Chain A
Amino acid sequence: MLIVVGLLLIATGGVLPLFFWPRLVAAKVPAVFGIGAGSLLGLWGAIVALSAPQAATWACDWLGALRLSFRVDILSAFFLLCIFAVSFLAALYSYHYLDDPSKTTRSVFSYLLLAVLIISMALVVCADNLISLALAWELMSISSGFLVFYDYEQLENRRAGYIYFIFTQAGALFLFTAFGVLFAQTGTFDLTGAENLSAGVKLAIFLLALVGFGSKAGVVPLHTWLPQAHPAAPSHVSALMSGIMIKMGIYGILRFYLVLAPETPAFGRIILVLGVITGIVGVAQALAQNNLKKLLAYSSIENVGIILIGLGLGMLGTASGRPTLAFWSFAGALLHLLNHALFKSLLFFGAGSVMHGSHTLEMDRLGGLMKRMRFTGLAFLIGSLAICGLPPFNGFVSELLIYVSAFRGSTLEGGDFLFAVMAVVSLAVIGGLAVACFTKVIGIVFLGEPRSIAAGEVHESKLSMKLAMMIPALACIIIGLAPMFLIRPISATTLQLLGRAAFPGADLRPVYINISFGAAVFLGIIVLILGLRTLLYRGKDIVQAPTWGCGFTRPTARIQYTGASYASPLVGFFRAIVPVRESFDGLKGLFPGLVNYQSLSEDRAEQLSVEAVAQPLVRLMKRLRWIQHGNIQLYIAYIVVAIIAAAMLISYPVFLP
């Protein structure tokens, strides 16, 4: 009930600004208030639903033909919690972020699209039959797609939007095929009755759905839309898309996993291997990026990889009759999903703040922002530490759970042992690369000296943006220090995934107590050393001087290491997945003058999808161009002929093979 009221409020918040056009501030107030308050109500509702003994359901017939049915069970409630938390922050952030009076019209419309996006995501996780799921899914894709077009003047943003539409529609094609096969096999649009299908059919449905859901989640190699769409969208929309919308793909995978109830370990293995590939490719690509938001987008792909590793381990554990192992990894994956929603929205808000302050996202043009944007810098530092999974922040808690589960897999034999090895080693490598990646962001963007005039004249963001960064930053710290209060929601959701009641091994409390204990010990020692340091510096001379230039006395900001040079050894190591195109005209003579050097990192998956899929398809379609002649009457004739042909086929099945 609270959720429905919340959604209605969000809808009001989306529609009201239209009446206040063209006064930007007057339009923003009801929008932010409506969406924000609606999200808070929904958040409350989700928390209530998490501990509700029974799932709430609602159904109606629409247009006499389509039956819409919605159901809020614990899994839905968990995802609703993530959705409403981020949508609240996004609405709050947008108040001071969308302050360009020359973009009033599109800002007003963007609130409508934002409200539709939030509502449709909530409907996706509540959908209880294939029709409602398909409708909500499409609504979500379309509304987010138009939000990507926000800055449509730039060619690359238009391109990003089109690519996103292509991916989302191609993904939906596979998804609806999966829905069709499921309907043909079970004879109902409801999400029931699929448990008894044969293993082969289940796998086929799962793989088809995986393409659809995976392309939304950014699973490699279907991720290439993501690093283009996220930088193009306004930052609060990027936060919503990266923090939540791509998780709808994860939700879909989980829901289909529950619906199909597979017994074979094949599902878990597929998800685990995909997770490993996605994680490593994502973080290696992130490291090579120069655009801050593009880097964050690739890092989202990496985190989807970590979540999939957890889910894959969980599915493997369930299939091999090790419920404790499965419990830990599912719990870790779910918590990481929530954590990622928090720190990724924080980081995108931070990136938007940088964009606002300096009007560029090119990392090699920034530097030294910490001095003039202390708040944003500190928030970004907290977000970076959290996303690297470092203690005592929240990312560590979820990664620890997945690690514990993977380490428990060390007693397995044969092939499963290798899968557990793969999980542990790839998590370690991903963790190391994430540290490299985010030290690059902090070190190049926020520390050192400004690399351009704009970077030296940045200004701090305004109140609503600061608040939107402060809340998730605090949440990252609180979950990292005392995750106790999350035991019930995570356990309940995990047990639903396992399909069983609470059992003795399924207790998160001891681990959470250990995490808090470890954090307390570490912080205690920090305080001790801080005290010691203060004592050591009492009455001492503190001198300010330029950095020691190793004998070089006239340094400029341009001699600093750049992001590209910092990442270059690691990117070179991963050149098989991150090809870098360089152009350098070389040094000439004894006293070389100006030289030109360029490097550009590329995405192997993108190259492959262009060469192997898009170009052959375009060549084929060129031969069929004569069908497209612009003559409307003939188009209508096509439709009529196609319908008659389909009807004939159905009425006279002899034509069917």
Chain B
Amino acid sequence: MTTSLPLFLGSLLLLPLLAGLIPKVKAFLTGKKGPPLLIKYYTLIKLLAKGSVYSTSTTFVFRAAPVVVPAVYLTALLFLPLAGMPPVLSFSGDIILIFYLFALGRFFTICAALDTASPFEGMGTSREAFFSVLSEATVFMVLFLFCRLSSSLELAGFFTGSKAINLSRPEAGLLLLVVVAMFIVLLTENARVPVDDPATHLELTMIHEVMILDHSGPDLALLELGAWCKLYFYAVFVANILLPGQVSPAGLRIMAFLGSLLLIYAVIGVVESVTARYKMPMVPKFILTSFAFAFFAAILTLEWAR
């Protein structure tokens, strides 16, 4: 509690920096100069200073989304252990609360988009609803496996304490399968290439960006903040698995954690530079691959598989 609260608050301050890292990596790999590293801070300040335009089609649901969405992901971050430290809050069963809160956030994002009566936003919602069903199956498969490995039902039990799940465990081999599976979920849930292209400006091809097309000003800033928290949540989830065990001095452990976190953000940038967005019919197959990995990893823990 004492060490995790500063880490949590520090993370909040670093969120825009981490999000700004991906375009920088992309620019570097394609030989461009790219936007400044602090670009997301500038965007945030710009948006917060503005007013808003609301569509005459919309109702209170449209205005509720920018409140619910960041609240959902901030709550989730409170329960997430950072750098192997106990999280700010924790209780048995919090994993279910967190992933159902994510569904609540999705519910409001989708409804707010449909509230604008725009056909483009409708298109985005339809895809969002489809792909998240599939990635949810993977997530719960992974949670089930982690529950088996750590015999606990909270994120704190997964990533801290004596039964923490990371690469120092004897099951490191199958944990790599989980890392790949969760990375695919990360790309899907955060609308990254190859599922979605956050850089595109063609509404027909987008998923997440098109759903927030009509939000503006501070409302858009709050939604962006939620999106960064979400990306950070999944990145930390994977980074925690990648940690090489409980490194003893806390300083070194935080360094190792930051290292793997930066690695994940960099890999997202690399993936975006070397692959193109899949055609929509390919995406479900891509996501279901992650379920196959997670399921296979779970089966490997059974006694008869040893």
Binding site for B on A (CB under 8 A): 367-368, 370-371, 377, 381, 385, 388-391, 396, 399-400, 403-404, 407, 410-411, 413-414, 417, 420-421, 424-425, 427-429, 431-433, 435-436, 438-440, 442-444, 447-449, 510-511, 514-515, 517-518, 521-522, 525-526, 528-530, 533, 536-537, 540-550, 555, 557, 559-561, 565-570, 573
Contacts and interface: CB of A to CB of B under 8 A. Distances in A.
B278 to A, nearest CB: 14
Given A404-B93, A570-B130, A550 B115 contact: no
A399 to B, nearest CB: 8
Closest 4 interchain pairs by CB?
A561-B122, A443-B114, A432-B133, A428-B140
A430 to B, nearest CB: 9
A529 B136 contact: no
Interface string B32-69: 00000000000000001011111111110100001110
B67 A526 contact: yes
A428 B136 contact: yes
A580 to B, nearest CB: 15
A425 B137 contact: yes
Contacts of A526: 67-68, 71
Interface of B: 48, 50-59, 61, 66-68, 70-72, 74-75, 78, 89, 91-94, 96-97, 100-101, 103-104, 106-107, 110-111, 113-123, 125-127, 129-130, 132-134, 136-137, 139-141, 143-145, 147-148, 151, 153, 203, 213-214, 217-219, 221-222, 280, 284, 295, 298, 302-304
Given A549-B118, A566-B129, A439 B107 contact: yes
Nearest to B63: A533
* Secondary structure call for the B interface: helix
A512 to B, nearest CB: 11
A530 B72 CA distance: 13
A570 B52 contact: no
A330 to B, nearest CB: 17
A565 B122 CA distance: 9
Given A433-B133, A565-B126, A545 B55 contact: yes
B97 A388 contact: no
Contact of A435 (B56, B103, B126, B134): B103
A573 to B, nearest CB: 6
Most buried by B among A410, A433, A515, A543: A410
19 contacts: A391-B100, A407-B143, A407-B153, A413-B302, A414-B302, A425-B140, A428-B137, A429-B137, A439-B114, A442-B114, A443-B113, A447-B115, A529-B70, A533-B218, A544-B56, A547-B116, A548-B214, A565-B122, A565-B126
A365 to B, nearest CB: 15
B99 to A, nearest CB: 8
A488 B303 CA distance: 39
Contact of A566 (B66, B101, B125, B302): B125
B89 A521 contact: yes
Given A511-B92, A561-B121, 12 more contacts: A381-B61, A417-B302, A425-B140, A432-B136, A435-B106, A443-B113, A444-B114, A522-B75, A525-B75, A540-B217, A544-B55, A547-B116
A400 B93 contact: yes
Nearest to A537: B218
B147 A547 contact: no
Nearest to B104: A390
Contact of B104 (A391, A420, A429): A391
Contacts of B130: 436, 569-570, 573
A447 B126 contact: no
Given A566-B126, A570-B130, A550 B140 contact: no
Contacts of A413: 302-304
A442 B111 contact: yes
Contact of A385 (B54, B104, B110, B140): B104
Nearest to A543: B53
Given A391-B97, A570-B133, A548 B92 contact: no
A421 B141 contact: yes
Contact of B137 (A385, A432, A518): A432
Contacts of A546: 55-57
Nearest to B105: A390
B104 A518 contact: no
Contacts of B61: 370, 381, 442, 447
Given A404-B96, A420-B144, A521-B78, A429 B51 contact: no
B54 to A, nearest CB: 6
A403 to B, nearest CB: 5
Nearest to A440: B129
A548 B101 CA distance: 29
A530 B70 CA distance: 11
A424 B125 contact: no
B106 to A, nearest CB: 6
A407 B147 CA distance: 7
Nearest to B151: A411
Contacts of B222: 529, 533
Given A449-B57, A536-B48, A569-B130, A431 B66 contact: no
A426 to B, nearest CB: 9
Contacts of A548: 55, 118, 213-214
A529 B57 contact: no
Contacts of B104: 385, 390-391
Most buried by B among A421, A427, A449, A536: A536
A529 B121 CA distance: 25
Nearest to A514: B91
A540 B52 contact: yes
B101 A522 contact: yes
A528 to B, nearest CB: 8
Contacts of A521: 75, 78, 89
B66 to A, nearest CB: 7
B107 A385 contact: yes
B204 to A, nearest CB: 9
Contact of A431 (B56, B103, B203, B219): B103
Contact of B100 (A404, A431, A566): A431
A396 B102 CA distance: 13
Contacts of B143: 407, 424
A404 B96 CA distance: 8
A471 to B, nearest CB: 22
B96 A400 contact: yes
Nearest to A549: B118
